[in-house]
Chain A
Amino acid sequence: MDWAGLIFSTFFGTLRDVFPIVLVVVVFQFLVLRRGLANPARVLTGFVFVVLGIVLFLIGLETAIFPLGRGMAEQLITQAISGVNGDGWLRYGWIYLFAFAIGFSTTMAEPSLIAVAGKAGDISGGSVGVFGLRLAVALGVATGITLGVYRIIHGLPIHWFIIAGYLVVVMLTATAPRKMVPLAYDSGGVTTSTVTVPLVAALGLGLAGAVPGRNPLIDGFGLIAFAAPFAIISVLAYAQLSVTMSRKG
C-alpha cells in the first residue's frame, strides 16, 4: 500500500476543498464585517482539527472500509446473478440485507449528521435526543437504499418511488410537531455524504451493470436520491411517535 501517496493526495485534496470556505469567511469577516475573531487561537486550532480530522477520516475510509465494502458488493452481486442462493426473493436476499445494513451503518458514521444532530440537541435544550434522531435517520436511509436496490433489480422508473416518498412527507408534515419539521427536512440533505455516497454508488453501479437488461447509465444513478425522502419520513414519524408516547405516558 502506498501510504505516502495516499496521505499526500488526501491532504492536498482536503486543503483544496477547505480553501473556498476559508476564503469566503476571511473576506466577509475582515472586509465586510470588519471584526477580529473573538478567540482567534481557539478558532484556528479548531480549524486545524477539522482539516486533520477529515484527512485522517478519508485515509482510514480509503484503506479499511471502501475496498472491503466495494469488494463485498461485487462478490454479493456475482453470487446473486449466478443464482446459487436460489430463486425469487432468495436470489437477491443477501443484496437486500447488505443494502439495508450498509445504508444504516454508514449513516451512523456520517460526520455531517453528527454535527446537525448535536446542534439540534444543544439548541432544543436536550429535548431532541441526539442518538435517537441519528438512529431514526439511519433507519430511514437503510429503508430508502433497500427500496432503491429493489427498483434497480426490477427496472422500475425512479420517479414513482421518489414522488410517492415525497407525498408521504407532505402528509406527515401536516400532523408532525411543528418544531421538528425544519430539522426533519434538513436531515434528508445531510444523510448522504462522505461515507455513504461512495459505497452506495458502488452498489448501484455494480448492480445496474450486472443485472440483465439494466443500463448502468440510466439505472445506476439515483440510488443516493432514495435516502433523502425516507430519512425525512423516518424523522417525522419518530417525532410523531415521541409526542404520542409522551402524551400516553
Chain B
Amino acid sequence: MALNFLSLPDIPPRLRPKLVRGPRIPPVLRDLARAFGDSVRDLTPIVSVIAFFQILVLGQAPDDFLTILAGMLCVAAGLTLFVAGLEMALFPLGESMANGFVHKGSLSALIAFAFALGFGTTVAEPALIAVCAEAARAAAVAGVIADDPAAIARYALELRFVVAFAVGIAIVIGVTRILMGWPIHWLIIGGYALVVMMTTLAPREIISIAYDSGAVTTSTITVPMVTALGVGLASSIRGRNPMLDGFGLIAFASLTPMIFVMGYGMATN
C-alpha cells in the first residue's frame, strides 16, 4: 500500500553535507531543532489564515504585534517540547505497560488499568468540565431541571461522571476487542446505529450536547497514552497486527459518551 504523497528522493552522497569536526551537538538538541522546524511548518496555516482575514477581509492590523509574536513563539516551542516528550516518555511508557500486562497474563489487571485510564483522564478534563457546565445551564433554561445553582451544579457533576464512566467502558471494550481480535467496523457501526436510534428517542436539548461530549473527551495526553496502549497490546499478542488491531481505542472513546449521555437524558427526563 503506497500511501505516501510526500516522499523525498535520496540525496546523492556527493551532495550530502560533510560532517564538520567540532563541538558535538547532543542528539536531543538536534532532534529538538528538527522538531522546531516541523512545528513552525504545522503552525503556518493558522498564522496565514489569521493574517489573511485580519488584513485583507477586516482591513486592520493587530495592535499588539510584539505580544502576538511572543505568543506564537510560545506555541511553536510548546509543540516542539510536547512532540519530543511523546517519543521519550508517553509512547514508550504506554507500550511497555501494555507489554507488561500481556506478560503478567492477568486479564483483570489489564481491564482495571483500561478502565482507570479512560475514567481517570476524562473526569478531570477541563474541556469536558466546561461543556457540562454549559449543558447544565441549558438544561435549566429548557426546564429539564430546577433553575437554581445547586440543581445546576449537581446536573453538571452527574453528566461529567456519566461521560467519564462511558470513556472508561470504551477503553475496556476496545482492549477486549484487541484481545479477541474482533473486527472493529461491526462494533463501531453497531454503536452508531444505536446512536441513531437513541437520537430519535432522546429529548431534543440533550442531543447536541451528547454529540459534542463525544468529541471533547479525548485530551492531548490521553490520546498518545491510549494509542500506545492499543499498539503495544497488538504488538505483544501473537497473531495481532498493530495497524489492524492496535488503533481504534479512541474511536470507542468518542462513541460511548454519546450513547451514555443520551441514555442519561432519557433517564432524567
Contact = CB atoms under 8 A, between A and B. Distances in A.
A211 interface: no
Interface stretch (B3-11, B16-24, B152-160): B3-11
Contacts of A114: 42, 79, 83
A68 B68 contact: yes
Contacts of B211: 158, 162, 221-222, 224-225
B231 A188 contact: no
A178 B79 contact: no
A189 B256 CA distance: 12
Contacts of A178: 244
B246 A109 contact: no
Contact of A68 (B6, B48, B62, B228): B62
A218 to B, nearest CB: 6
Interface in B226-269: 227-228, 231, 235, 241-251, 253-254
A48 B85 CA distance: 7
Given A17-B124, A119-B228, A129-B4, A170 B189 contact: yes
B54 A72 contact: yes
A59 interface: yes
B57 interface: yes
B220 A65 contact: no
B184 A181 contact: yes
B83 to A, nearest CB: 6
B251 to A, nearest CB: 4
B149 interface: no
Nearest to B69: A64
A119 B205 CA distance: 38
A39 B87 CA distance: 13
Contacts of A219: 208
A24 B82 contact: no
A115 B227 contact: yes
A182 B247 contact: yes
Q: Is the interface of A mostly helix, strand, loop or mixed?
A: helix
A76 interface: yes
A20 B124 contact: yes
Interface string A83-125: 0000000000010001001101110110110111011100110
B182 to A, nearest CB: 11
Contacts of B83: 53, 111, 114-115, 118
B81 A163 contact: no
Contacts of B216: 192, 197, 224
A242 B117 contact: no
A163 B196 contact: yes
A104 B45 contact: yes
A4 interface: no
Interface string B51-77: 011100110001010011111111111
B113 A221 contact: no
A106 B245 CA distance: 29
B189 A33 contact: no
B162 interface: no
B244 to A, nearest CB: 5
A180 B251 CA distance: 13
Interface string A4-17: 00000000010011
Contacts of A127: 1-4
Contacts of A46: 84-90, 92
A79 B112 CA distance: 53
B117 A192 contact: no
A217 B48 CA distance: 32
Contact of A193 (B4, B68, B72, B223): B223
Contact of B208 (A16, A62, A222): A222
B46 A17 contact: no
A33 B243 contact: no
Nearest to B185: A173
A249 to B, nearest CB: 8
B236 to A, nearest CB: 13
B207 interface: yes
Nearest to B43: A109
25 contacts: A17-B126, A20-B120, A20-B124, A28-B116, A32-B109, A53-B77, A53-B81, A56-B75, A105-B45, A111-B83, A114-B42, A116-B227, A131-B5, A133-B3, A163-B196, A170-B192, A179-B244, A182-B245, A186-B247, A195-B46, A197-B216, A221-B134, A224-B212, A225-B214, A238-B3
Query: Which 9 pairs between the two chains have the least Cβ-Cβ distance?
Result: A64-B71, A46-B89, A46-B88, A57-B78, A60-B74, A56-B78, A49-B85, A53-B82, A53-B81
